[in-house]
Chains A and B, each alone.
Chain A
Amino acid sequence: MPAGEMSPREVAAAVPDPELPALTLEDLGVLRAVEVGHDGEVRVVLTPTYSGCPAREVMRQDVITALTSHGYLCVRVEFQLQPPWTTAMLSPRARARLLEMGIAPPPPLDSTSPLRLSLKCPQCASLRTEETSHFGATACKSLWRCLACGEPFEHFKALR
């Protein structure tokens, strides 16, 4: 590692998510491992959020670009399915950032209650909200509407 430079782990962890750039790959919980081999090759292991997530190839390219621009010229990115990604892997920082962006974060996964709690509007915090579509502009989000302030909003839906 060049003196004073960021480690490969730090570089990879700071790469923004292509679809939600306010989150890093580490925030999103998709960065599984960063290892440096004897030959200096950096091996980065990522896990996809959804099987068909189109951001996957962009993530791979962005990680390679970030590492090479920090002087790590030999990089290999692999995808690993197991254990499967769930929204429990989002960092606490990620949940806070989502809310700031106007996206309702997924409910905590520690609850085993079959009851579905109403979702809080990220704009006005009202609980009078309704789902307009289970599927949104990206695989990980659904579409909602606040009945109090009238604003539509996105929800980063729970995957357990």
Chain B
Amino acid sequence: MATRSDIFDYALRLGDDALVLSHRLSEWSAHAPEFEEDVALSNLALDLLGQARSLLTYAGQVEGKGRGEDELAYWRDDRQFRNLLLVEQPNGDFAMTIVRHLLFATYQLAIYQALEDSADATFAGVAAKGAKEARYHRDHAALWTVRLGDGTEESHRRMDRALLALWPLTAEMFQVDAITLRLADDGIIPAAESVRPGWDAFVEATLREATLEVPQGVAARVGGRAGLHSEYLGHLLAEMQHLHRSHPDASW
């Protein structure tokens, strides 16, 4: 039987994915390679931030200790964050950002679509809304993947490099643990193995069209779901949380 603590943990997983990637994408604001892309990446960041707000608010309600979205976003340290290692990776070059987004948005869309039938009404509501947004995100990343992978020699080389660097972090999306098993048993979340084939199919088809190859035989790196993060998350949080911690409860 899933416990309230399981639901709290899973709401943090999805909420932290959205929050951390939203912050990463917002770092592109005013720095993207072209104006339209600047607007696009900021739009993606905004959608993710909205999803994070709903999910962290819900996590706080389930936990029942009076923590709201702000307490959860700004007053936890890296060990208490449950996001995937993938989303905290630095933006790198534009290829790195696009590959990261393709891998993540394809996963997020699959999870959200499955969660629309969740036994948990809040997950179902947030997911139904988020799936409509994630579809645009995934398609946007897929268009760029094809354009850059099947582009110039240099753009292909960079996409290939990004794919090799990030591929080891994808296994974590489908990792099973006691929490996800209990939640899946109760029909609150989809079983990991039910999500994987759709992800594989879309990513592989996109990479094929982009003349890129799926990396083979790479060792998986996991840990984010258990709070064991790469060095990058601490730096991201330092920037994201600094203002709020310096001026607690300040308002405009």
B39 touches A51 (CB 8 A): no
Q: Which of B42, B50, B121 contacts A48 (CB 8 A)?
A: B50
Q: Which of B121, B130, B132 contacts A160 (CB 8 A)?
A: B132
Q: Which of A52, A86, A136 contacts B47 (CB 8 A)?
A: A52
Chain A nearest CB, measured from B92 CB (Å): 21
B125 touches A82 (CB 8 A): yes
Of all chain B residues, the one with the shortest Cβ separation from A82 is B125
Give how many B residues have a beta carbon under 8 Å from the other chain's beta carbons. 28
A52 touches B132 (CB 8 A): no
CB-defined interface of B146-178 with A at 8 Å, one 1/0 digit per residue?
Answer: 000000000000000000000000000000000
Chain A nearest CB, measured from B77 CB (Å): 25
A54–B47 Cα distance when bound, in Å, is: 10
A51 touches B40 (CB 8 A): no
Given known contacts A51-B50, A54-B46, is B39 in contact with A133 (CB within 8 Å)? yes
A58-102 contacts to B, CB under 8 A, are: 81-86
A136 touches B39 (CB 8 A): yes
A6–B35 Cα distance when bound, in Å, is: 45
Chain A nearest CB, measured from B18 CB (Å): 9
A139–B51 Cα distance when bound, in Å, is: 14
CB-defined interface of B177-199 with A at 8 Å, one 1/0 digit per residue?
Answer: 00000000000000000000000
B36-72 contacts to A, CB under 8 A, are: 36-37, 39-40, 42-51, 53-54
Given contacts A51-B51, A53-B50, A82-B121, 5 further A-B contacts (CB under 8 A): A51-B126, A51-B129, A81-B128, A135-B36, A135-B44
Using CB atoms and an 8 Å cutoff, list the residues of chain A in contact with chain B.
48, 50-54, 81-86, 132-137, 139, 143, 159-160
Using CB atoms and an 8 Å cutoff, list the residues of chain B in contact with chain A.
36-37, 39-40, 42-51, 53-54, 121, 124-126, 128-130, 132-133, 136, 139-140
